[in-house]
A and B are shown apart, each in its own frame.
Chain A
Amino acid sequence: MDHLDQLEAKSIYIIREAYKQFGNIAMLWSIGKDSSTLLWLTRKAFYGKIPFPVMHIDTSYKFEEIYEYRDAKAKEYGLDLIISRNEDAIASGMDHSSKLQCCMALKTNALKMAIEKRKFKALLLGIRRDEHGIRSKERYFSPRDANFKWDYKNQPPELWDQYKSKQSDEDHIRVHPILHWTEVDIWEYIKRENIPIVDLYFAKDGKRYRSIGCKPCCSPVESDADTVDKIIHELRTTNTAERAGRAQDKEDTYTMQKLRALGYM
């Protein structure tokens, strides 16, 4: 087994474990490269028939390409797609200058509403340890309390693929099947498996997005990488951070810690 085979086998094991342990679960799909890779792995784990819903937290500020790609793939893969929006907050208009408040309202609260409605016991998320310092502290199975708080100072031990299985009534568990992948691993795998990816990642007129989210808070990086091969080459030679174009990482050193402690993805 090569490196990618090992990453894939571990992820599939975790995805199957989450479904076996919790049954009523959902996968969060942001349509980005990581959660689209997670979706690919999840289809593999269940032989093409994913036995739970796939949820898109729609802030209404996403790129056009994201919506088009989402609807096309949901149809092609036969997904049980849930689109979750915080309509009240969207209607009242958002002030993007405070990332903490905007992300809380449109993402975290939209997610809260969806969980409340469907009573999901666990959520699959495509976060990776190398993305951001605070994510490097995560477990594969990570409990959240009724207020979605992540008690990062008192996380349960996790050893030998024995993940937290039980939970008290008010918790949901965040499951992170691709936590151990790096950004380059993702692209190597996209190449090997020929996974279709949103166009925004590929360079146009000297710029491309390395990480995508809401339009107002994402800026492209300088790049001529317009193919998967060129992206892999670029990542092997750059030392710019992946989320350098993401506003919520920059506002204050601990914005991501605050957001995550409060239930952000």
Chain B
Amino acid sequence: MQDSINLVIVGHVDHGKSTLIGRLLYDTGKLSPERIAELKKVSKNTGKEMEFAYVMDHLKEEREQNVTIDTAQTFFSTDKREYVIIDAPGHVEFTKNMVTGASLAEVAILIVSAREGVEEQTRRHAYILGLLGLKQVIVVINKMDTVGYSNDRFNEVKEQTISHLSTLGIEPSYVVPISAIEGDMVAKRGERMNFYEGPTMLEALDTFKGRESRDNLPLRFPIQDVYKHDPKRILVGRIESGKLEVGDKVLFYPSEKTSTIKTVELFEQEATEASAGMSIGITIAEPLFIERGEVMIHPGDTPTIADTIDANVFWMSRKPLKKGERLHLRCATQELDCTIKEIKKRLDSSDLSVIEENARQIENNEVGELTIVTDDPIVIEDFNRVEELGRFVLVKDLDVAAGGIVIMPKE
């Protein structure tokens, strides 16, 4: 079985995301005769030429208005591996859908139109890629056909994009000139851009790695639930990092209770060990009262227990986030009520300029540097080490309203 990579395509509205995906699917032979027929039919009904964008824009409103509203996923493969493509809407109004799509990805393609260059949503999406910790990024300069396949224009937009990304700490692995509509440099090189000597977009993608194994990191096993199957009490969850084995001495955080692993529980399967990524169950030797939200670790390499955290938060609700507001915070399986103690900075997510220091509130699609006080202790960790414990969401009313990354306290 080949491995599979989740790939998100982001960028400003109308820079050609959906068209690029249609092109990719078409060139890799993934469009069925039924889909091509359906696309032709819809294109005809709405009075348009056959449009690749329709491949991913499935909602009636999306096709009529020519704008992607929600994220969608599809699949294609190369000789090397399978890809899941996530199309993310470019329009500012649907940024929360873009964040949803991008949070699933390991690799990102940032698409920039050669004609318009970097625009507001290009910058905002780039910021979100940084926030989500995406490190494998390809920039494609699209619509090269509209600028006469000009090497000079390519270099101009390339420099502009790279210089913006560097302010976010993102270094793209490749910058590829393409024409999604004509197909140049996407799956095939074409004849019109011989000035460019790097890989095609597809070749560039194939050089990336899937998610690295996290078996060699310290053990982090957040308890998801406890099943009472008499006489056993099975602690279930997913191992986010590290490995465990029957007989291991373990510690639960934040309660700091200690025990020993008695069994590893898998359905109709014998096991004495388990590793990162697996959804498993365990039983422990001592009859401890352990609940959802505790994080099981090995003694020695411990995460941080805190009740006040600083974090960068991207706010995604039409109702503003207010200083002093009570919200619900979820980090791995931990769920806590919290108070927004301070909004130290309120930032514009398109250029990260500071709108206000010590602000009273932040608005939809803005970024805040916050101090949050949780009602109970929370287990956190550096996002760059164990990301599941370094990131969290804030729930307002009934919905997820923000994604945040913990800023670790200085030692």
Contacting A136 at CB < 8 Å: which of B73, B236, B292?
A: B73
Question: Which residues of the other chain, A, contact B328 by a CB distance below 8 angstroms?
Answer: 166
Is the pair A6, B277 in contact by a Cβ cutoff of 8 Å?
yes
Q: Closest CB-CB distance, A25 to chain B, in whole Å?
A: 13
Is the pair B267, A44 in contact by a Cβ cutoff of 8 Å?
yes
Question: Which residues of the other chain, B, contact A2 by a CB distance below 8 angstroms?
Answer: 1
Q: Mark B1-45, 1 if CB is under 8 A from A, else 0.
A: 111100000000000000000000000011111110010011001
Is the pair B100, A158 in contact by a Cβ cutoff of 8 Å?
yes
Is the pair A257, B267 in contact by a Cβ cutoff of 8 Å?
no
Is the pair B395, A137 in contact by a Cβ cutoff of 8 Å?
no
A9 to B101, CA, bound (A): 20
Q: Closest CB-CB distance, B30 to chain A, in whole Å?
A: 7
Give the contact stretch, choosing among A60-68, A93-101, A112-120, A148-156: A148-156
Question: Which residues of the other chain, A, contact B97 by a CB distance below 8 angstroms?
Answer: 155, 157
Q: Mark A11-32, 1 if CB is under 8 A from B, else 0.
A: 0110011011000000000000
Q: Mark A129-152, 1 if CB is under 8 A from B, else 0.
A: 110011011010000000000001
Is the pair A240, B33 in contact by a Cβ cutoff of 8 Å?
yes
Question: Which residues of the other chain, B, contact A45 by a CB distance below 8 angstroms?
Answer: 236, 267, 279
Residue in B2, B31, B45, B398 whose Cβ sees the most chain A Cβ within 10 Å: B398
Closest to B400 in A: A157
Given A136-B72, A159-B100, A239-B29; A257-B60 close (CB under 8 Å): yes
Give 15 A-B contacts (CB < 8 Å), ordered by A residue: A3-B1, A12-B279, A13-B279, A16-B224, A16-B279, A19-B225, A44-B266, A44-B267, A48-B268, A130-B73, A130-B75, A157-B97, A159-B103, A188-B1, A239-B30
Q: Mark B210-252, 1 if CB is under 8 A from A, else 0.
A: 0000000000000011010100001010100000000000000
Question: Which residues of the other chain, B, contact A207 by a CB distance below 8 angstroms?
Answer: none
A48 to B229, CA, bound (A): 11
Q: Mark B31-71, 1 if CB is under 8 A from A, else 0.
A: 11111001001100100000000001011110000000111
Contacting A164 at CB < 8 Å: which of B234, B265, B400?
A: B400
Given A152-B70, A182-B75; A159-B99 close (CB under 8 Å): yes
Q: Closest CB-CB distance, B310 to chain A, in whole Å?
A: 19
A168 to B397, CA, bound (A): 9
Which residues of B does A touch, CB under 8 Å?
Answer: 1-4, 29-35, 38, 41-42, 45, 56, 58-61, 69-75, 84, 96-97, 99-100, 103, 224-225, 227, 229, 234, 236, 238, 265-268, 275, 277-279, 281, 292, 316, 328, 330, 335, 388, 391-393, 395, 398-401, 403
The size of the chain A interface, using a CB distance under 8 A, is: 53
Is A52 located at the chain interface by the 8 A CB criterion? no
Q: Closest CB-CB distance, A129 to chain B, in whole Å?
A: 5
Q: Closest CB-CB distance, B218 to chain A, in whole Å?
A: 18
Is the pair B225, A240 in contact by a Cβ cutoff of 8 Å?
no
List 15 additional A-B contacts (Cβ < 8 Å) besides A1-B275, A45-B236, A134-B58: A8-B279, A9-B278, A17-B224, A19-B225, A44-B266, A44-B267, A133-B56, A136-B56, A137-B71, A152-B69, A156-B398, A164-B398, A165-B395, A188-B1, A241-B32
A166 to B236, CA, bound (A): 21
Is the pair B32, A159 in contact by a Cβ cutoff of 8 Å?
no
A8 to B97, CA, bound (A): 25
Is the pair B399, A157 in contact by a Cβ cutoff of 8 Å?
yes
Is the pair B277, A3 in contact by a Cβ cutoff of 8 Å?
no
Question: Which residues of the other chain, B, contact A130 by a CB distance below 8 angstroms?
Answer: 73-75
Is the pair B34, A159 in contact by a Cβ cutoff of 8 Å?
no
Is A227 located at the chain interface by the 8 A CB criterion? no
Question: Which residues of the other chain, A, contact B70 by a CB distance below 8 angstroms?
Answer: 137, 152-153, 155
A157 to B103, CA, bound (A): 10
Is the pair A160, B393 in contact by a Cβ cutoff of 8 Å?
yes
Question: Which residues of the other chain, B, contact A69 by a CB distance below 8 angstroms?
Answer: none
Residue in B71, B234, B335 whose Cβ sees the most chain A Cβ within 10 Å: B71
Q: Mark A151-187, 1 if CB is under 8 A from B, else 0.
A: 0110111111010111110000000000010100000
Q: Closest CB-CB distance, A7 to chain B, in whole Å?
A: 9
Interface residues of A in 83-117 (CB under 8 A from B): none
Given A153-B61, A257-B59; A240-B34 close (CB under 8 Å): yes
A253 to B37, CA, bound (A): 11
A249 to B32, CA, bound (A): 15
Is the pair B3, A129 in contact by a Cβ cutoff of 8 Å?
no
Given A152-B59, A159-B99; A240-B278 close (CB under 8 Å): no
Contacting B33 at CB < 8 Å: which of A47, A49, A239?
A: A239
Q: Closest CB-CB distance, B227 to chain A, in whole Å?
A: 7
Residue in A43, A157, A166, A244 whose Cβ sees the most chain B Cβ within 10 Å: A157
A48 to B72, CA, bound (A): 34
Residue in A47, A159, A180 whose Cβ sees the most chain B Cβ within 10 Å: A159
A216 to B96, CA, bound (A): 41
Contacting A157 at CB < 8 Å: which of B99, B275, B335?
A: B99
Question: Which residues of the other chain, B, contact A129 by a CB distance below 8 angstroms?
Answer: 72-74
Contacting A9 at CB < 8 Å: which of B34, B61, B238, B403?
A: B238
Question: Which residues of the other chain, A, contact B99 by a CB distance below 8 angstroms?
Answer: 157, 159
Question: Which residues of the other chain, A, contact B395 by a CB distance below 8 angstroms?
Answer: 165-166
Contacting B403 at CB < 8 Å: which of A5, A6, A160?
A: A160
Q: Closest CB-CB distance, A26 to chain B, in whole Å?
A: 18
Closest 10 CB pairs of A and B: A133-B58, A159-B103, A12-B279, A156-B399, A157-B96, A136-B72, A44-B267, A241-B34, A9-B279, A162-B393
Contacting B4 at CB < 8 Å: which of A3, A17, A43, A241?
A: A3
Question: Which residues of the other chain, A, contact B229 by a CB distance below 8 angstroms?
Answer: 47, 49
Is the pair B38, A20 in contact by a Cβ cutoff of 8 Å?
no
Interface residues of A in 203-229 (CB under 8 A from B): none
A139 to B278, CA, bound (A): 22
Question: Which residues of the other chain, A, contact B60 by a CB distance below 8 angstroms?
Answer: 253-254, 257
Contacting B388 at CB < 8 Å: which of A152, A157, A160?
A: A160
